[in-house]
Amino acid sequence: DAKTTQPPSMDCAEGRAANLPCNHSTISGNEYVYWYRQIHSQGPQYIIHGLKNNETNEMASLIITEDRKSSTLILPHATLRDTAVYYCIVRVYSGNQFYFGTGTSLTVIP
């Protein structure tokens, strides 16, 4: 599976959009982009995934560039409860494993 690169930390003001970037320049055609988050002292939580089209659900939006070498997770109106570590993962759909990396620690500031 391809590796991902994320900034180690970010801040976001409460109520504003949080945009979390992820680089995956070695992604191959059959690899999906997944996002998870982990709130302190809890297990990771699935957020969203996509292949090449932009995706949106009740939690977030995922924007994947046309060349698929990078993506952005958007939390449209960040709340204090969104403070967490966010992991960007690329994975073959039929693959067995997730490589979580170290993620981005997002702090939402009141």
Site residues for other proteins per CB under 8 A: 32, 34, 41-46, 49, 87, 91, 93-94, 96-103
Q: How far apart are CA 69 and CA 74, in angstroms?
A: 17
CB of 36 to other proteins, least distance (A): 8
Q: How far is the CB of 97 from other proteins (least distance, A)?
A: 5
Q: Which of 47, 79, 74 is nearest to 61 (CA)?
A: 74
Residue number with CB closer to other proteins (16 or 56): 56
| CA distance linking residue 69 with residue 86, whole number of Å | 18
Rg (CA), the chain: 13
| Structure letter (DSSP) for residue 73 | E
Kindly state the smallest distance separating residue 42's Cβ from other proteins, in Å.
6
Q: Which is nearer to other proteins, 10 or 14 (CB)?
A: 10
